[in-house]
Amino acid sequence: MPAFVPPNRLLLGPGPSAVPARVLQATAQPTIGHLDPAFIGMMDELNDLVRYAMQTENHCTLTISGPGSAGMEACIGNLVEAGDTVVVCRNGVFGERMRQLVIRAGATAIAVDQTWGEPIDPVALDQALREHPEASLVAFVHAETSTGVLNDAEQLARIADEHGCLSVMDCVASVGGVPVRIDEWGIDAAYTGSQKCLACPPGLAPATFGPRAIERIQARKTPTASWMFDISELTRYWSGGARRNYHHTAPVNALYGLHEALVLLREEGLDASWKRHGSVSSLACSGLADLGLQLTVNEAHRAPQLLVVQVPHGVDDAQFRRQLLDVEGIEIGGGLGPGAGKVWRIGLMGHGAREANVERLLGAMSRQFDALGLQGIERAS
């Protein structure tokens, strides 16, 4: 059987995003042991790079072996115990996933719901916390990948703190693409993913835990249910100095790639990266509107790195995306949950957030619409 050779795609979906050559080359370096002194030195550098990307000085900053959902499991699983009450902000698929993990931990989940495509209402969160003074944690998604909404993380965290609650933030799709300021916003725990705006292959979840989160973990009445994601154990491996406690065989080459991706981010600078994502998104929004496509999220609450547009009337969602992939070599995403078959999700994340990519996408979509015999006015109907 011959070796697998993947097709060359332009990845403009909700993730994974395009990976630059330097990152791919880094993952191809020789594998060394996960307790090798050279690898341990790289781990320390990686922790510092994650701190930079997430704008935090938290000592407990590490990278979890697994995708962004593993980061979610680690945060919820370590900070929630049976009998707790957790308020979960839900305006998309991943807010609901957080709620499900709270329930699986044996806790009571109080949902603060918002219509898909709209941001979480801070007043509704405040009201829920007033009605549930027993709540000890607030969980929310910063950039909701299923809808393209950017929630006001700073305000949600502040309200949580005012009610004596810790905050857990999903920033899988936001780190590197829009401002994420863990310390300034007072976020107690957060996790991201390697495959979105960090422009790295999927499979890693950088995470950070502040002092109050660590106190909560240390005060648990019962051990964390997951051995693999037990932060108390993982910290001894990731932050144990020259003498690390063995925990698991870390994905050595994948971590090389994340290190290089974060080096690239630091070379560009966070402000420049945020500005690039914003300007490329503006170009895309204008071009999509010219094609007659309607964006589903108001500009004030739109995540620039993930645009969601309505599937035009009379167009088969899956068939159009398959044509775009097969004929043009471009991947965009379909909708999730209530949006399935109704919206397209266009990711402009990390290395993929380039003007040339937007121009290629717009030209490809226009050609495919022409092939269907649709004019712009018809597409907007």
Confidence of residue 356 (pLDDT cuts 50, 70, 90): very high
Residue 376 has pLDDT above 70, yes or no: no
Q: What is the CATH number of the domain that holds 112?
A: 3.40.640.10
Partners of residue 204 on adjacent β-strands: 65
Q: Report the pLDDT value the prediction gives residue 239, as an integer from 0 to 100.
A: 87
Distance CA 226, CA 99 (A): 17
My answer on whether 217 and 244 are in the same domain is: yes
User: Which of these, 374, 65, 352, 68, lies nearest to 233 by C-alpha position?
Assistant: 65
Same structural domain, 107 and 216:
yes
pLDDT tens for 168-195 read 999 999 999 999 999 999 999 999 999 9
Q: What is the pLDDT of residue 131?
A: 98
Across 359-371, average pLDDT: 96
DSSP letter (8 states) at residue 321: H
Q: Which residue has the tokens 């739109």?
A: 302
Q: Chain-wide mean pLDDT for the chain? A: 96
Of 244, 266, 288, the position where a domain reaches its end is 266
pLDDT tens per residue across span 20-31: 999 999 999 999
pLDDT at 377: 45
196 and 213 together in one domain? yes
- Report pLDDT for 375: 66
Residue 107 belongs to a domain: yes
Rounded distance between C-alpha atoms, residue 107 and residue 241, angstroms: 35
Residue of higher predicted confidence among 187 and 379: 187
**Domain harbouring 342, CATH code:** 3.90.1150.10
Residues 6+ apart with CB under 8 A from 105: 76, 77, 80, 81, 82, 84, 225
Token representation of residue 24: 């791919």
Give the model's confidence band at 233: pLDDT under 50 very low, under 70 low, under 90 confident, else very high: very high
Tell me if residue 51 falls in helix, strand or coil.
helix
Same-domain pairing of 258 and 279: no
**Segment 142-165, tens digit of pLDDT:** 999 999 999 999 999 999 999 999
Inside any domain, residue 292: yes
Residues 195 and 77 in one domain: yes
Residues 42-98 pLDDT 10s: 999 999 999 999 999 999 999 999 999 999 999 999 999 999 999 999 999 999 999
- 8 falls within a domain: no
- Look at the block and give the residue holding tokens 């890693």: 204
pLDDT tops 70 at residue 266: yes
pLDDT per position as a tens digit, 278-306: 999 999 999 999 999 999 999 999 999 99
CB atoms within 10 A of CB 230: 18
Q: How many other CB atoms are found less than 10 A from the CB of residue 277?
A: 24
Q: Among 52, 62, 83, 84, which residue's Cα sits nearest to residue 233?
A: 62
Boundaries of domain holding 70: 21-266
Closest residue by Cα to residue 176 from 205, 206, 197: 197
87-102, pLDDT tens digit by residue?
A: 999 999 999 999 999 9
Domains in the chain: how many in total? 2
Question: Sorting pLDDT into bands at 50, 70 and 90, what band is 244?
Answer: confident
In a domain, 234, yes or no: yes
Question: Taking the complete model, does pTM exceed 0.85, yes or no?
Answer: yes
CB atoms under 10 Å from CB of 92, counted, come to 25
Percent of the chain exceeding pLDDT 90 equals 95
Q: Whole-angstrom distance between the N-terminal and C-terminal Cα of the chain? A: 49
Is residue 276 domain-shared with residue 229, that is, in the same domain? no
DSSP states along 175-201: BTTB---HHHHT-SEEE--TTSTT---
Question: Would you say 216 and 79 are in contact if contact means Cβ atoms under 8 Å apart?
Answer: yes
How would residue 16 be classed by pLDDT, with cut points 50, 70 and 90? very high
Residue 6 in any domain: the answer is: no
pLDDT at 380: 52
Alpha carbons within 13 A on the beta-carbon side of 77: 17
Does 157 share its domain with 102?
A: yes
Give the DSSP per-residue string, 94-140. Answer: HHHHHHHHHHHTT-EEEEEE--TTS---HHHHHHHHHH-TT--EEEE
